Structure 1
Amino acid sequence: MDTQPTPSTAPSTTAPSAVPPGMPLVSVVIATRDRPQLLRVAVRAVLDQDYAGPVECVVVFDQAPPDTSLATDPEEDPDADPDADAGAAPTRSVRVVGNVRTPGLAGARNSGIDRAAGELVAFCDDDDEWLPEKLRLQVAQLSATGADVAVSGIEVHYGDRVITRVPAASDVVATSIARRRVMEAHPSTVLVRARALRERIGLVDEKIPGSYGEDFDWILRAAQAGPIAVVERPLVKVLWGSQSYFSDRWATIIEAIDYGLVKHEVLRTDPVAQARQQGRKAFAYAAIGDRRAALRWARHTLRLNPRDPRAYAAIVVALGLVSADRAMRLANSAGRGI
């Protein structure tokens, strides 16, 4: 594994000086906005990992003042003890920074990557919670397979329901991801080698409208860059519900879908993948009340793939048989999205 960052993304602080052999420093990037209680749960779960190597948690506040009370790094915490042993090598630390790039989730994640000192980088959403063994199992999987990226399964928590979703290795190839999104390969499960992230795969795309679907765009590029290793067990608790920033931003979602279709050839050339995108677009039009556009895109979708469920959901919403909110709740209660 390579520990040297590229010049344009060199971290502003040094990594712990003593790293156990075979236990690389892992930088965990948590982008956050207006979720203080959920954020503290997410950070605590990162710090409580049973991984024997060092872990730094980089919390990036997007469009909000950073909460420095979370920090354990003296450079970031003005209340830290100045007489603490600066030469010590803590196994866990938290740094708090602001988003200095494009406002939104993509820019916030990239701001965290820019500050990450680790040989490995992981993402965690601010409303998700890692299980204690996550990093230990995924670092071992990367070492065993030589892959640049590892993902795992998830537990979807929706109200009082828990749905387990676990991908197989065959699910995280580019064609499968394009055709059905493979939401089991959730961004909060991602562990990636820093050099591959910064060079071959690339950072999170900040040009995506509203940062919507930036995780799908990134995991699709990762799959196109090389094999993705899978720990076939749930290692992350994913909270679904009304807290989603995209639950009612349908116009932005339409723009983001169109952006992805232009960017990714596989989404245009594979009929099932294209149908999925057009079906989502049809549903978005139905949700904003544009019945004509919704039915038009639903027809396009069904010509490509008569089995695409999003087209049928769009039709029933466009006809007023069920509300978009109700359709979304039904899908989420089954551990799925639209």
Structure 2
Amino acid sequence: MAAVTVVYLGGFGRSGSTVVERVLGASRGWTNVGELIDLARYVGPSDELCGCGERFSACPLWSRVGELAFGGWDTAVFSRLVSLQRAAARQRNLPALLTVRRRSSALSELQSAYTAIYQAVAEVTGSGVVVDASKGPAFGQALAGAPELDLRMLNVVRDPRAVAWSWTRTVERPHADAGGSGGALEMWRIPAHRSAAQWSALQVEMAAIAAWGRRPSARLRYEDFVQHPARSTLAAARALGVELSATDLAPIDDRGRVVLEPSHGLSGNPSRFSSGVLELRRDDRWSHQMGRRDRAVVTAMTLPLLRAYGYPTHTSHRTPPVISTAPASSTEEHTVTTPAPTPRTTPALVSVVIPTRGRNALLKQTLASIIDQDYDGPIEIVVVHDREEIDPTLTALSRPERQVRSINNTRTGGLCGARNSGLLESRGAYYASCDDDDLWHPSKVRRQVERLESDPDLLAVGAGIRLLMGEQGDVDWPAREPVVSHERLLHNRVKELHSSTLMMPRAAFDVAGLYDEELPFSYGEDYDWLLRATSAGKVGAVEEVLADIRKDVPSWFRDKSLNTATALEYMLDKHPGFRRRRRGHARILGQIAYARAAGGQRARGLRIAGRALRRYPAAPHAWLALAVAGPGVQPQRMLGLARRLGRGLS
């Protein structure tokens, strides 16, 4: 039998995993099973309710699954499954699951048993993908090694203060409410400090699995899901490498309403029993109902991850949101309507972040071009010194409504960490990036803010550029189209989306995430972010030339071609869309081949160039790689030729 694809939702409870599971399970060709880890622990022995409303023993689907997997459910089956979980899939087993290649007999038996369950579910429902919201990282990693399972991990994460507040509330557990089954009638409660500790521990475990688990993994923020359910769901599926199109999803209207049929999910949140029209709305009641002490404790205990995941760290009470009239038993994931934003009456603060190291003279020219913007609103400029001392004299360049600040990169060394440090330190409604050697035209900020405010769906906007080529003269490169699709970005790097042209609303980082600090040498960090952004939403460009990009000064990546190759190989693995597009795949392979050849690995460069040309015989970088790897043409000559044509080699 072919391997069953399982999307395993990991993380901590009360993070919205039930509603994410329900929406995914309603997709064409997908089905959801609830929290399968509880089947043998609680659901079967206590004969709890299935999501369809029937007792587990009376549910036709689960009865048939039991017959196919084990010849039927009985006490012996439940007891054996529980003992196998305890022996091989507890939290303390995770280090061994990540590092030890040899499987114990208990682990092998556990994997075989749950593979039989997943295969039976797929057969009975006719589904190609099974969604399991068991959440436990160790249990998921234990099953991930099963030979006949294709398991991918989706970390569903939510603001830990919202999670902690939810765990202190009394929530009925209707799974065990009829017929005296003996199950719990209320979901248990956890003090805020314990919730914060468990949330942090489980997030560290999910990060370890993402790094060493040898399985595709991705992260989905609950807040992004309820704000943009279709967009964020499709982006998560792409990141996991699972086929899912907009037409496969259950229809979601512009008010976030989705129609869900009853499912056969087990255990978990009481929303499992909801069907019909479900309105996905963010629940921020914690922001005004959570005690100040609990809020401060949870914020302090989870601070590093709050920042890493892009959550605000300010802990003051907020204005209460408007509460809907949903029944009191409803789950928090869809019971709140937040107030409409107040129309802006003054120009928004724009934050510009400039990473720098060792280019003080060029940096001051860049700062002057930003300070001289004709934008009516305030601009703060955050200079992030990466692995060098802060230059305190830069603040003297400030003037009214043009503040210059200098900070150190407090995160991973390199461009990604520096950009994230500046982003998290900045305060603006809009974020703009700029390199420390490029120049902005006076109208850049004004024109891009106008574009973003005229089209609130945009996650980012670039602009036309002027390439300063030194002796070869300047080359203007206006933006070719107002909206840049994900498909085009896979096919072409798109020069007008250069790191020195990009401006984003701050909320864009809630959707696409921060810059990837695991990207080797931070090469192509803006391209990687844009690929994620265009997967999740809309990216555009202002046609006119608004920035000068220096090609007449040395790049940090000059003479470091092997670093470039390593980063491109990482990106090729991270974004499976390249492999499905012949020309885009060949372009990246050709760039890797050229970088390997230019770095002295000529034989390896030749092999990769051959792969690129088999994918697309007209791939230009592959031919350049052959010239460097074969006849031994100097890479500097190739770079000079490209620049005379107004192009680069990346």
TM over 0.5: yes
Distance 1:265 1:154, change over 3 A: same
- Give secondary structure in 1 for the equivalent of 2:488: helix
User: 1:242: Cα distance to partner?
Assistant: 4.7
Matched, 1:299 2:623: no
CA distance in 1, matches of 2:619, 2:418: 34
Matched, 1:70 2:380: no
Matched, 1:115 2:425: yes
Matched, 1:163 2:487: no
What residue in structure 2 maps to residue 172 of structure 1? 484
Listed one character per residue, the Cα deviations across residues 225-248 of structure 1 (whole Å, up to 9, x for unaligned) are 211232101100000145101121
CA distance in 2, matches of 1:242, 1:44: 18
What residue in structure 2 maps to residue 247 of structure 1? 558
User: 1:295: Cα distance to partner?
Assistant: 1.4
CA distance in 2, matches of 1:221, 1:183: 17
5+ residue gaps in structure 1? 1-5, 13-19, 75-88
What residue in structure 2 maps to residue 51 of structure 1? 375
What residue in structure 2 maps to residue 323 of structure 1? 634
CA distance in 2, matches of 1:254, 1:230: 28
Matched, 1:105 2:405: no
What residue in structure 2 maps to residue 184 of structure 1? 496
CA distance in 2, matches of 1:178, 1:22: 38
What residue in structure 2 maps to residue 84 of structure 1? none
What residue in structure 1 maps to residue 358 of structure 2? 34
Amino acid at match of 1:54: P
Amino acid at match of 1:34: G
What residue in structure 1 maps to residue 643 of structure 2? 332
Contact 1:171 1:177 in 2 (8 A): no
- Aligned-residue sequence identity (percent) comes to 39
CA distance in 2, matches of 1:202, 1:304: 31
Distance 1:242 1:11, change over 3 A: farther
What residue in structure 1 maps to residue 402 of structure 2? 92
TM-score (norm 1): 0.87
User: 1:255: Cα distance to partner?
Assistant: 1.1
CA distance in 1, matches of 2:544, 2:604: 41
CA distance in 2, matches of 1:180, 1:288: 24
Stretch moving more, 61-70 or 248-257 = 248-257
Q: Following TM superposition, where does structure 1 have runs of at least 4 consecutive aligned residues deviating by more than 4 angstroms?
A: 9-12
CA distance in 2, matches of 1:11, 1:185: 30
User: 1:276: Cα distance to partner?
Assistant: 0.7
Contact 2:378 2:402 in 1 (8 A): yes
CA distance in 1, matches of 2:620, 2:514: 32
The higher radius of gyration belongs to 2
Listed one character per residue, the Cα deviations across residues 43-87 of structure 1 (whole Å, up to 9, x for unaligned) are 11111100000000000000100101001599xxxxxxxxxxxxx
Matched length? 312
Listed one character per residue, the Cα deviations across residues 195-243 of structure 1 (whole Å, up to 9, x for unaligned) are 222x101111111110011111012112222112321011000001451
RMSD: 2.2
TM-score (norm 2): 0.46
Amino acid at match of 2:404: V
- Give secondary structure in 1 for the equivalent of 2:500: helix
- Give secondary structure in 2 for the equivalent of 1:302: helix
CA distance in 1, matches of 2:433, 2:644: 25
Contact 1:331 1:337 in 2 (8 A): yes
CA distance in 1, matches of 2:378, 2:359: 26
What residue in structure 2 maps to residue 137 of structure 1? 447
- Give secondary structure in 2 for the equivalent of 1:244: coil
Matched, 1:218 2:542: no
Amino acid at match of 1:113: L
Amino acid at match of 1:180: N
Listed one character per residue, the Cα deviations across residues 290-314 of structure 1 (whole Å, up to 9, x for unaligned) are 2221211111111111111101111
Distance 1:11 1:183, change over 3 A: farther
Distance 1:11 1:131, change over 3 A: farther
Matched, 1:274 2:585: yes
Amino acid at match of 1:93: Q
What residue in structure 2 maps to residue 17 of structure 1? none
Amino acid at match of 1:42: T
Distance 1:170 1:266, change over 3 A: farther
CA distance in 1, matches of 2:346, 2:480: 26
CA distance in 1, matches of 2:514, 2:645: 31
CA distance in 1, matches of 2:416, 2:640: 26
Amino acid at match of 1:305: Y
CA distance in 2, matches of 1:141, 1:170: 10
Listed one character per residue, the Cα deviations across residues 276-299 of structure 1 (whole Å, up to 9, x for unaligned) are 111011101211222221211111
CA distance in 1, matches of 2:426, 2:370: 15
Matched, 1:260 2:571: yes
Amino acid at match of 1:163: V
